[in-house]
Structure 1
Amino acid sequence: MDHLPAAIAKVLEPFAPVFRRPTWKRARRLLVGAILSPGARTVAAALRTLGLEHGRGFSSYHRVLSQARWSSLALSGTLLRSLVAAFVPADAEVVLGIDETLERRRGERIHAKGLYHDNARSSKSIHVRSHGLRWISVMLLTPVPWATRLWALPFLTLLTPSKRSCETRGVRYKPLGHWARQAMLQLRRWLPGRRIVLVGDNNYSTIDLLARAARHRVTVVTRLRLDAALYLPAPAREEPGRLRRRGRPPKKGPRLPTLKARLEDPSTIWCRCSLLWYGGGTREVDLLTGTAVWFRGGLPPVSIRWVLLRDPLGKFEPQALVSNEPDLTAEQIVGYFLRRWQVEVTFAEARAHLGAETQRQWSDLAIQRTTPALFALFSIVTLCARELLGPNPAPVRTAAWYTKPEATFSDILSLVRRSLWRAAVPPIKRRSVDNDDVVLIPSALWRRWEDLLSFAA
């Protein structure tokens, strides 16, 4: 399918310079095939969907992922700039979410796999560990025209090899905080003049990350341990009426009580606020906030604002949040952190509708490229829908037993698929001469649909 709708071709055009011309032609076919395919997103499934299963050069499509020279990082930067231009006003801050997910894979030829805690299969009382690949994904948290809730749009996904695989190959192991630091520095290069807010979970609550982010003018919002060592700012080097002290200047002042002690202290004065909560509703919570210096030996001190959050009804456990921007208010920090939940929604949608975890590549390079491409497909479909809809509302699939108030990703994916099928060659005749209700479909296209539907899982 080389004839694409003008709106979809406009979205894909900025990615062409990253590839050589023959590679881009095959990569674009694979992308369209991945959008149209049901079930598993393999190269073979994409070729069958496009009617190319009998072509002699099928191996060249596999080499697009396993051998061809193109940069996933360059594509990520292009996708981020397209998303920001489409959904974020020029004077607005760019809010990004970062989180990790597990792709369950087994096999001796998958070198980067490890044994990790499986959040999707675990609960508070049951802890499940699964073999697979761990990925860090950075997503743009932004509103979209057809929904009231925010959407998380992936653009950068990084493979983080396990510690055992790094030891086997003789390379240095990097924890999640180091990967997040590298991603944050790359984000600053891609968006040099924009204000960036990076929201993460407790895996990214490290002093080093917050200090580097403050140095590069990136605001980080994440969780904080209740027993974290917090201090007053360091006293001035020279004070009036005092002799000058010898030695290095102090990095911190006296230690402050821990957040756990503040939480258990009955004399603590809380501020009750009504905040926007998950699902679009409001909820009353108790807040306590303050500024401090977070310090640990061997690391640079970082000025922070901490927020202690508890539920007056006791329905969730108290938790602490932290930001390297002391000028933020407690309500702003909590508001940024609540946006992070949309990242989990995108992970679930990518598995349900885009075939994440169904790919079957074995070479290291193909593995590093395929999963990020599937997550990025979520954002590409969203961009295509924006161009196709324009000012019009998005179609919503409803039923007598289910009234859906707004479009979800399944509706947006259906919209893009219908647009691609309508652009198929030869074209569909919308109306026959004898009957307005009859649509003439070319026999080749009908056989392709019949094959897809009859073998769909």
Structure 2
Amino acid sequence: MMRYQRTETAHLAEITSLWYGSLHTRTVRVILLRDQDTVSGYDLALVTTDLITPAPALITRYTWRWSIEVTFAESRDLLGAGQARNRTRVAVERTVPFGLYCYTITVAWYTLHGHHPVDAADRRERAPWYTTKTDPAVSDMLAKLRRAIIAARFLPTRPGQPTDQEIRAVQQARAAASLDTAA
């Protein structure tokens, strides 16, 4: 069967049964997958109301969704999407899409401006347990974006920022104005 862009051999077991509870008495299929290396238990359990599609095709379809599920989980865990305490309908409808937009903007920024070929190697050096890490994770992208924002915020010669002399001149003018109004 095809999983995660690889053809693999795995053991499958499936049973059709009734699911009591949230699906009331609806007929479902339970599919258990165990990799060849696994000696006990199973590696993946799927419950589906699709009674027709062959189990290998359902497992392939599930793996196609994996990147989407990872995006939702990272948006929730790293950006707080879906965790706002909103009460109005409009606010609730905006919160999750906004979190997903932030996720998209972060990945797009990293792709266009933040990526450096040695990022994954630097991360492996800081976290030696990532021996097989070849690509940056979204958490790495967010960390780099935060560093870039902080560095830009505190650059000494950023256009539009007043110089120390300009700040002092404004402070002196305010002080002089307050003395004039006090008299």
Q: TM-score scaled by structure 1? A: 0.23
Q: Whole-Å Cα distance in 2 between the matches of residues 317 and 360 of structure 1?
A: 33
Shift of the 330–359 alpha-carbon distance from structure 1 to 2, 3 Å rule, reads closer
- List per-residue Cα deviations over 1:241-291 (Å, max 9, x = no partner): xxxxxxxxxxxxxxxxxxxxxxxxxxxxxxxx4x4359x895513499xxx
Match of 1:384 among 109, 122, 125: 109
Instruction: Indicate conservation of the 8 Å contact 1:286/1:311, yes or no.
Output: yes
Shift of the 337–358 alpha-carbon distance from structure 1 to 2, 3 Å rule, reads closer
Superposed displacement of residue 354, structure 1? 0.9
Q: Whole-Å Cα distance in 1 between the matches of residues 106 and 127 of structure 2?
A: 28
Shift of the 414–337 alpha-carbon distance from structure 1 to 2, 3 Å rule, reads same
Q: Whole-Å Cα distance in 1 between the matches of residues 84 and 30 of structure 2?
A: 42
Which residue of the partner structure matches residue 284 of structure 1? Answer: 10
Which residue of the partner structure matches residue 264 of structure 1? Answer: none
Q: Whole-Å Cα distance in 1 between the matches of residues 46 and 92 of structure 2?
A: 39
Highest CA radius of gyration, 1 or 2? 2
Count of residue correspondences: 134
Q: Whole-Å Cα distance in 1 between the matches of residues 78 and 114 of structure 2?
A: 20
Instruction: Indicate conservation of the 8 Å contact 2:13/2:33, yes or no.
Output: no
Instruction: Indicate conservation of the 8 Å contact 1:276/1:335, yes or no.
Output: yes
Letter in 2 for 1:403: Y
Letter in 1 for 2:137: T
Instruction: Indicate conservation of the 8 Å contact 1:394/1:412, yes or no.
Output: no
Letter in 2 for 1:348: A
Superposed displacement of residue 318, structure 1? 7.0
Letter in 2 for 1:276: R
Which residue of the partner structure matches residue 149 of structure 2? Answer: 420
* SS of corresponding position for 1:402: coil
Instruction: Indicate conservation of the 8 Å contact 2:81/2:95, yes or no.
Output: no
Instruction: Indicate conservation of the 8 Å contact 1:394/1:407, yes or no.
Output: no
* SS of corresponding position for 1:427: coil
Instruction: Indicate conservation of the 8 Å contact 1:285/1:309, yes or no.
Output: no
Q: Percent identity?
A: 22
Superposed displacement of residue 414, structure 1? 1.6
Q: TM-score scaled by structure 2? A: 0.50
CA RMSD of aligned residues (A): 4.4
Q: Whole-Å Cα distance in 2 between the matches of residues 351 and 419 of structure 1?
A: 22
Which residue of the partner structure matches residue 130 of structure 2? Answer: 403
Q: Whole-Å Cα distance in 1 between the matches of residues 57 and 130 of structure 2?
A: 33
Q: Whole-Å Cα distance in 1 between the matches of residues 65 and 91 of structure 2?
A: 29
Between structures 1 and 2, the one with greater helix share: 2
Which residue of the partner structure matches residue 355 of structure 1? Answer: 80
With a CA cutoff of 8 Å and minimum separation of 6, indicate the structure with the bigger relative contact order. Answer: 1
Q: Whole-Å Cα distance in 2 between the matches of residues 336 and 394 of structure 1?
A: 34
What does residue range 9-88 of structure 1 map to in structure 2 within 5 Å? none
Letter in 1 for 2:98: A
Shift of the 283–379 alpha-carbon distance from structure 1 to 2, 3 Å rule, reads farther
Superposed displacement of residue 381, structure 1? 1.0
